[in-house]
Amino acid sequence: MLTLATWNIRTLLDNANADRPERRTALVARELSRYKVDITALSETRLADKGQLTETGGGYTFFWSGRSINERRESGVGFAIKTTHVPKIPSIPEGLGDRLMKMQLPLRHKTKATLISAYAPTMTNPDEVKNSFYEELDCLISSVPQSEKLLVLGDFNARVGTDHQAWNNTIGKHGIGKYNSNGLLLLRTCAKHDLAITNTMFRLRTRNKTSWMHPCSRHWHLIDYVITRVRDRRDVRLTKAMCGAECWTDHRLIIARLNFIIQPKRRPQGQKAAKKLNVNKLKCPQTTEELQLKLDGNLENLQPDRNNVDDYWASFRDAVHSAALEVLGPAVRRHQDWFDENDSEIHNLLEKKHRLLRAHQSDPSCGAKKAAFTNMRSKLSVKADEIQNYADRHDLKRFYDALKAVYGPQSKGSSPLLSADGSTLLTEKKQILERWAEHFHSVLNCPTEEVNKAIKQMTSGKAPGPDAIPAEVFKMGGKSIRNELTSLF
């Protein structure tokens, strides 16, 4: 069973001057996790360009598509995908401007599903803007093969009414309200492509059908939809508005439970991951001496094609790893470390702090609520002192693990760079890549570079790369391994 959702979250931008809690993505992720949502189509994200970030603590990865950073951003679309599902997706979601985004899911029995996140123009937009949106949506729907399942989710700013007889199969018997001009555009598009609006097909209370309250009339309307092909409507077990979801937005979360199962990504057959090495044995001088002797023998018999750097590296890597594995053996799996065991403590502190903050913001004049929030903030200060203690002891691994758990990861978007002469700020991706290439060319191609010095500066205790050779092996490997590395470089 797969749970999809659509939510107009008003914005993912953080604003220190607003009365909302910090880290909008963390707040949205927490609500989605509470309702056990697998994938959510997000509307009105307002983030610039295209990008992604992962909320490690929240368990969701956000993808978005919007206007450029220099344009006024009033729209924007995206997906929030449960991080455990991201490796199963064949490619990351593709943004098609600031109002449409699509992604593909591999399903069981060799079937596929295409998901479209949409944010339609409001009633106040000119007709040419609305028509342009529906033309793009029409082309996008037409590009999806009929053999694939299709789900269109989003805020359409449209009311489709209750006339199920006139729009047979497009809307069900449980619609609500009257249709408007935007609704007519949506109904025509759905009828053209044999699509069904699943929100109108379930008998529910009015509060579980409507998704947005008009700020003037204070009447609730249905304008956020989950739409699928008519032939696949039985896949949708329920489409419902969740009144309890909260992230400082005037839209309700719409969820749809589907009879779908995502196909796990198949592992390449015949390829086994290299075993991790038990580098703790290198603390014993005798083991270190044995490793050096074994490396001397393996590297002495190394006969690679030195004119082919890829062949040279592959031969060197295999010789080093096989020698290290024979002497050190595979790593012994450890249990959860100390910080994983205390992660729930930090999570509970933050959750209680945000709850008290909201209570204080809703009633600023209440001294008791303010005192409770201040007291909780002081408890978080104690946790900060604990992290500072790791920094003072130079226990950097636990220090950074603690920081990541409290603040979460940084965005993966590209950061601007200064040009070589420091006079220009580079923002274009191509310019940034060229500047990095220029920087590394000047740093790494210096004749004074010393391999020994570089090896000594490698940090121990880190996970190895794809070669599965940890830094400790290079450090303790002796003269022969350094000579071969120098030749390779």
Domain CATH number, residue 193? 3.60.10.10
Does residue 463 sit within a domain? no
pTM given for the model: 0.57
266 token code pair:
């198949």
Q: So what's the pLDDT on residue 225?
A: 98
Tokens 């995908």 locate to: 81
Do the domain assignments include residue 164? yes
| 440 within some domain | no
CA distance 179 to 191: 15
First to last CA, the chain: 52
Among the candidates 204, 239, 258, a domain finishes at 258
344 and 252 belong to one structural domain: no
- Which amino acid is located at 55 in the chain? E
- Name the phi and psi angles at 467, rounded to 5: -75, -10
Note the pLDDT of residue 397: 77
Select from 350, 385, 407 the last residue of a domain: 407
Please tell me the distance from the alpha carbon of residue 290 to that of residue 236, in angstroms, as a whole number: 63
Task: Look at the chain and count its residues.
Answer: 489
290 lies in some domain: no
Q: How much is the pLDDT for 313?
A: 87
Q: Containing H/E element for 113? A: strand 112-119
72 and 191 together in one domain: yes
In a domain, 372, yes or no: yes
Return the closest-CA partner of residue 139 out of 102, 167, 107, 112: 102
Structurally, how many domains does the chain consist of?
2
Pairing, β 253-258 against β 2-8: antiparallel
CB atoms within 10 A of CB 321: 19
Is residue 252 within 8 A of residue 224, CB to CB? The reply is yes
Task: Provide the 3-class DSSP secondary structure of residue 210.
Answer: coil
- DSSP annotation of 323: H
**Three-state SS at 485:** helix
Please give the pLDDT value at position 223.
Answer: 97
Token digits of residue 60 = 């969701």
The pLDDT score that the predictor gives to residue 267 is 59
Answer yes or no: is 73 within a domain: yes
Look at residue 183 in the predicted model and tell me its pLDDT: 97
- Show pLDDT as tens, one digit a residue, over the chain (489 residues): 899 999 999 999 877 666 655 678 999 999 999 999 999 999 999 999 999 999 988 899 999 999 998 998 889 999 999 999 999 999 999 999 999 999 999 998 889 999 999 999 999 999 999 999 999 999 999 999 999 999 999 999 999 999 999 999 999 999 999 999 999 999 999 999 999 999 999 999 999 999 999 999 999 999 999 999 999 999 999 999 999 998 889 999 999 999 988 877 665 555 566 778 888 888 888 888 898 898 888 888 887 777 888 888 888 888 888 888 888 888 766 544 434 444 555 566 667 777 887 787 778 788 888 888 777 777 666 666 777 777 777 777 777 777 666 655 555 566 778 888 888 888 888 888 998 888 888 777 655 577 888 888 888 888 888 888 888 888 888 888 888 888 888
Is 392 exposed, middle or buried, given 0-12, 13-18 or 19+ CB atoms closer than 10 A?
Answer: exposed
- Within a domain: 445: no
Check whether residue 230 and residue 358 sit in a common domain.
Answer: no
CA 104 – CA 86 distance, rounded (Å): 11
Q: Which of 209, 235, 258 is the last residue of a domain?
A: 258
Looking at the structure, do residues 240 and 365 belong to the same domain, yes or no? no
Co-location of 242 and 105 in the same domain: yes
Calpha distance 172→174 (Å, rounded): 6
Amino acid occupying residue 269: Q
Contact (Cβ atoms closer than 8 angstroms) between residue 44 and residue 75: yes
Task: Give pLDDT, residue 337.
Answer: 41
The tokens for 358 are 């909201």
Residue 477: inside a domain, yes or no? no
Report the alpha-carbon distance of residue 133 to residue 120 in Å, rounded. 7
Instruction: Give me the domain span that covers residue 353.
Output: 338-407
Asked if residue 87 and residue 207 are part of one domain, the reply reads yes
